[in-house]
Structure 1
């Protein structure tokens, strides 16, 4: 099969699609670092199908060995994917036509959309199959936050797994780099660190744009002059299919309206005038696209284009009858999943006879396959304008009659220019004033200076490897490395929970429930400023409950907030708006009946079938061996993974864990667990996992008990507290297999404190004893008295402190290598548990 045949097959038997020459070169030549191709030329298909080709996939199966320079995880990092499902749907269609689309575990190619919520960390998802080829799609918020060990919209205890897998055996593709803001230098720095720090499996990056300036990728650790680029060759520009798009007729005009100020009156006057101009310019049967720079202006214009209300001007969020005339669509990034998909479904349909008017934000610039006859756009940085122009007469389909673009001027005022800088808009205005055509062939090149953004350094990355909150309960803020402050988001969802969301316990939100909202519009005084106490809650994993979020509490990017449905703030046709006061309809059909993960919760120990501890340890060890075989991991690293899985749950023989498991089993089955030690409790199919206390024999509750700490202490004891790298690595992997005991070891708030002054941490007390234990292969472990001297700084009877041991590991192996090993130990444990239940 040739690549051209492969390409046509991906688009289906009835498609006339054919590969451009650059797409063929991308698949058959070494990967470049940069891909600069005009908009509308199929960059997504080019990279995805080239990756599949180089991974050895052909129609129906993998036909040849994968290319060694092509990692097995393709990571599509999108700047503001308002319609991320579009890419997901297209990629799945290509794989389906090639008959290689599968689910994790089927040894085909799976596709995953990372959007936060419970689905992203559910068992048997992408993270459990590191040996399989797969495609991950997400925004830079979702992906870069995970690459910085602070994943937005997911359990903090899963951060290390995603971090490890996204830095090893991962092919990062950054689309429309001109929209990435601080995420762009962060992407360059991470690539530089992956080259300078140790990896277990090689990774690489590719940056895409129609308006690429390689100097934007020059950072203190990442020189740009050595980057290789792929662009269209001169003969490719002359091909009819390319020249038709390059010379597409796009007459350029200055709109007869200007936003002169940021006051409410000036904004309303501007929007009323713009609505009339848009109506007059629209052609029936075609699409008119209006791109505004803020969500609030887009929502307001969308309302202005609708029918008037009896009381006069409408406000964003007011209900309005559908008017006769053009269909109206609103596109921005503040919608819940089902509403976003409904908009996308309407976009896939041809415009009605009266035509369609789409009002959008800059979110339309990246990845939305859309072509309009008339385009209105507010002034924006030049690279963004070029992308917007590409949404007009995109394929040259209106060349006969021509298409028109109207640019809307903005006053040189910082408030009006938001979210852009006045200087950037001035530079664009200077270019526009001399232009009469926005045809790609007539547009000047992008020469904007490299924007100034915070730059991630190696020390910052190493500091982020520690996932423990600081003593005040907060995490290191990664927002400056991900997105401009004005664009940073929190995630909201709405529920009917009465007076107390903990009675009954509200489950973790699904991705369909989550809606992005900017920090400024979600916080006080906008939304939170008008809500009552007891209407907004956030999950506290240490307290294991929903706690009230007060008006003056700090908001941080990626924070998930639950809002009372009666408080308002959202409507299906408008999206999030702080001005909407009508009750929100919760997405009850999207509920996932799982409690958000807490520090002391152990959901993988409370399953449907009881499992003896020796059996589970043997199953985990065998799963680790199979995983290492599949990934071709040998030597010391293989031994560390396998040994860690062999020992990871030995601490479940601790009396506190044993009592908890037996109580949970009794509540779940009305029966007692048998003799011996157990790894999993069982329950009847119609019963939920039961909360049970960790009680020691003396009756004291051991709050925040972690069995993996006891397992790690037992391993070190058996090794006579040796300080070599092997011993410390296995100890770390044992301790970290739930993501809750990692670099640091200290007592937590609300722990039960011994009354005799003994050391204590994570529910383990100095002097606790683990009974003698026998592995499934007959190996005996004697009874062990647990010591906690290593939680103190300096040298003690257990040798160097835990902090010293783990810091040496981090410095020696590097964060990417260590996290990958950590992930593989956990994945083997998950697989063993799943197979036991099956």
Structure 2
């Protein structure tokens, strides 16, 4: 079975891990050298899951979440996932494919859904459409951990609980290069301790945690011919004499790189800061021309990074690519730490400045990975001035000592055999300990939280946090709009994509935005700032003064600040490009403008309606969002419009809920609770104010959805239909007598993110009377607390996600099987 998934005979360690997985056991850590195929853990899990499905006894989690430290240009895990999905469709794996298909609640041709960091599967959201369907989710440590902590970056109230539930229940977390973010490691371990339905594997070529016994290579691996070639790959390490100053250090880097200019080979140059990259590039360009040089830094928008993958020059550095023609010139790649981790990169030669030992080991792993070259060399360049750095000086000095102890051999085997000094690594930053009290507050998603999520991911004393920045053309026309619920609607319909974003340090981002506003004179333009708790509609000028409160900014394209290469540049005040439609299956336009020519290919429609001033009687244009019919976008698809009667929608939601709980084999009492909650969840839409808000004038035929997708918030006056559904359900005898009464009522009131723990007074059902509403609202808070104690934080969220999935499937008009 495993050989069929890998398309080759497995290495001994892969076979051993596969056999462990089949028994339902997962090791806490994998300590495997670079080049031994660590990312195949995805294929091993899937092969074991298929084996268990064939045997009819599932003990492995249905979801694998692969966490990477940063979004790289072409991550190996994405490549592995894409290969697996294609492999599943081959005749050789027909039985495995059929067994995996039977796990799903909703029939699908592809038995496994995947959401990745790049390419066709990027952020597609399919992993949450059917909670019973096996799924592979790839995400950055910020993306995954923020969601696990109920405060997903870029998520509105509606999605926070669904994401936490699906990622935190029946899930295997695989944390790649885990040693690079020790605070996140600690938090993930706390999550596992608090949540028995979550499993964690720390995956690293440089494990430092000696508290557990990691899974390692054994004698069979060390004598395997392919692994011998990779672990003993020739990598001659040359440490240059110390340079006298920074200028001479960078000149030495250029001189070392030019030694290979006539070899028609590949050279990667690792530098620790962007300024050094720019200076080395300028010098190298004069000698070899820009056509032979690639630059990769973390301060590059994801979309432009992905474009680099398609270039012939990048393919020279791919270990999987076979050149059609013999190269005649040397290719150079200049990179910061963005090229160190998770990148499917292989060069014959490297030139690197001195960094802490973690980084140096990662850099060595990008050279001669397959062991095919007998001439590979790594030149290390440094200046003694670096040892005076008050933050890293001690670690750099210890790292240099370690490198000299390698005796010019940087092969994985030599790195593994040479003891690593503790003081060559950066000390782990202090980080808060995640406990039950804090999780209680984090999971109360309808309220603000006092604990910044980034502290649990990067630590209290970490380097300054990064800010995520993206540009949207929609904001160019939102002048005069007021803050309101439309912000959550906007993020649900047009969620943030990784390819849209630029990441750079907060201090640099502050300087950049300040200078950009000075040059553009567009201080009053409104932007969207995202905090852990909410989306804020604020002027760019006001945002600069409080930038540290945000983790993400959405800017209007009119503000500019992004050059043609996808790099933030305060001197570039021409409008920035909006790439959302390039990376998603979505189209949008303003209601007073001509729709896009291909809009008929995007038949599902939702709308963002602007809040009007109290004294305004003029209807403003609305933003129309059109999407594909399938569950392709990472959005709350219940907002995508299709005309549907209220009872029809409730019947379909109940049927989908029944299919989901049956596929998951939920205990009868819990299964009934989800089904009954689906039967009642939208009953509160049968109110005149809500029907008027969606434009339905026939109150005798209440609707759940309308094809035009408009919702007039002024008509509803803040009313929350799920609270009305709760009030109706309180009178139902079946619910009153059910052993899961409290859970059913909680699921009904919380299915749009409120009720954790409260529903604000503006959302109450006014015709019912104040005291009735007040009593029900108090019970909502007490009920949430009791349910969370009974089921646990993530299992309760998971049960809510099951109802949410049934609601979405019914809302988009999917046919029942």
- The reply to whether TM is greater than 0.5 is yes
Confirm or deny that 1:113 pairs with 2:116. Answer: yes
1:526 aligned to which of 512, 515, 533? 512
Cα 1:91–1:543 change in 2 (3 A) is: closer
In 1: Cα distance, 2:333 partner to 2:557 partner: 31
In 1: Cα distance, 2:535 partner to 2:121 partner: 16
Alignment of 1:504-523 (within 5 A): 508=494, 511=497, 514-521=500-507, 523=509
Confirm or deny that 1:820 pairs with 2:798. Answer: yes
Give the CA deviation at 1:20: 1.1
Say how many residue pairs are matched.
Answer: 723
Confirm or deny that 1:681 pairs with 2:706. Answer: yes
Cα 1:404–1:499 change in 2 (3 A) is: closer
Confirm or deny that 1:166 pairs with 2:158. Answer: no
> Which residue pairs with 1:348 in the alignment?
315
Alignment of 1:604-619 (within 5 A): 608-619=641-652
Give the CA deviation at 1:21: 1.0
Confirm or deny that 1:705 pairs with 2:704. Answer: no
Give the CA deviation at 1:761: 3.0
In 1: Cα distance, 2:122 partner to 2:144 partner: 15
> Which residue pairs with 2:658 in the alignment?
625
Alignment of 1:243-262 (within 5 A): 243-256=228-241, 258=243
Confirm or deny: 8 A CA contact 2:529 2:535 kept in the other structure.
Answer: yes
> Which residue pairs with 1:438 in the alignment?
410
Confirm or deny that 1:424 pairs with 2:395. Answer: yes
Q: Secondary structure at the match of 1:288?
A: strand
Confirm or deny: 8 A CA contact 2:500 2:579 kept in the other structure.
Answer: no
Q: Secondary structure at the match of 1:376?
A: strand
In 2: Cα distance, 1:544 partner to 1:253 partner: 51
> Which residue pairs with 1:37 in the alignment?
32
Alignment of 1:294-693 (within 5 A): 294-307=273-286, 324=289, 327-346=292-311, 347-349=314-316, 350=323, 352-399=327-374, 401-409=375-383, 411-412=385-386, 421-435=392-406, 436-443=408-415, 444-448=418-422, 451-454=428-431, 455-470=433-448, 476-483=451-458, 485-486=462-463, 488-496=465-473, 500-502=477-479, 508=494, 511=497, 514-521=500-507, 523-531=509-517, 532-535=522-525, 537-538=527-528, 546-549=537-540, 550=542, 551-556=544-549, 558-572=551-565, 575-577=567-569, 583-587=575-579, 589-590=581-582, 592-593=587-588, 608-661=641-694, 663=695, 665=696, 673=698, 675-683=700-708, 689-693=709-713
> Which residue pairs with 1:19 in the alignment?
10
In 2: Cα distance, 1:643 partner to 1:599 partner: 35
Q: TM-score, with normalisation over the residues of structure 1?
A: 0.78
Q: Secondary structure at the match of 1:835?
A: coil
Give the CA deviation at 1:105: 3.6
> Which residue pairs with 2:741 in the alignment?
727
Give the CA deviation at 1:342: 1.8
Q: Secondary structure at the match of 2:203?
A: strand
In 1: Cα distance, 2:722 partner to 2:384 partner: 59
Give the CA deviation at 1:191: 1.6
Confirm or deny: 8 A CA contact 1:491 1:558 kept in the other structure.
Answer: yes
Give the CA deviation at 1:18: 3.7
Write out per-residue CA displacement over residues 146-189 of structure 1, whole angstroms, 9 at most, x where no aligned residue.
11111123334201111101111111111111222321111211
Per mean C-alpha deviation after superposition, the further-off stretch among 640-649 and 343-352 is: 343-352
> Which residue pairs with 2:93 in the alignment?
none
Confirm or deny that 1:744 pairs with 2:758. Answer: yes
Query: Normalized per residue, which structure has more helix?
Result: 2
Write out per-residue CA displacement over residues 387-428 of structure 1, whole angstroms, 9 at most, x where no aligned residue.
2111112222221x34233243563568x57xx643332321
In 2: Cα distance, 1:255 partner to 1:581 partner: 43
Confirm or deny: 8 A CA contact 1:709 1:735 kept in the other structure.
Answer: yes
In 1: Cα distance, 2:530 partner to 2:359 partner: 40
In 2: Cα distance, 1:68 partner to 1:502 partner: 54
Give the CA deviation at 1:568: 1.6
Give the CA deviation at 1:479: 0.2
Q: Where in structure 2 are there 5+ consecutive unaligned residues?
A: 91-96, 317-322, 589-605, 613-621, 623-634
1:292 aligned to which of 260, 263, 271? 271
Write out per-residue CA displacement over residues 770-812 of structure 1, whole angstroms, 9 at most, x where no aligned residue.
xxxxxxxxxxxxxxx95223445xxxxxxxx432221122122
In 2: Cα distance, 1:528 partner to 1:802 partner: 45
Q: Secondary structure at the match of 1:252?
A: strand
Per mean C-alpha deviation after superposition, the further-off stretch among 515-524 and 813-822 is: 515-524
> Which residue pairs with 1:781 in the alignment?
none
Confirm or deny: 8 A CA contact 2:272 2:353 kept in the other structure.
Answer: yes
Confirm or deny: 8 A CA contact 1:766 1:787 kept in the other structure.
Answer: no
Higher relative contact order (CA 8 A, sep 6+): 2
Write out per-residue CA displacement over residues 471-502 of structure 1, whole angstroms, 9 at most, x where no aligned residue.
xxx77410011135436333222245686435
In 1: Cα distance, 2:703 partner to 2:535 partner: 25
In 2: Cα distance, 1:519 partner to 1:547 partner: 21
Q: Secondary structure at the match of 1:575?
A: coil
Give the CA deviation at 1:28: 1.8
Confirm or deny that 1:203 pairs with 2:198. Answer: yes
RMSD across aligned positions (CA)? 3.8
In 2: Cα distance, 1:805 partner to 1:499 partner: 44
> Which residue pairs with 2:227 in the alignment?
242
Confirm or deny: 8 A CA contact 1:40 1:395 kept in the other structure.
Answer: yes
Q: Where in structure 1 are there 5+ consecutive unaligned residues?
A: 9-16, 196-201, 216-223, 261-265, 309-322, 666-671, 684-688, 696-701, 747-759, 770-784, 793-800
Confirm or deny: 8 A CA contact 1:251 1:404 kept in the other structure.
Answer: yes
Write out per-residue CA displacement over residues 341-400 of structure 1, whole angstroms, 9 at most, x where no aligned residue.
22122322459421111111223222222222221223223233212111112222221x
Confirm or deny that 1:141 pairs with 2:142. Answer: yes
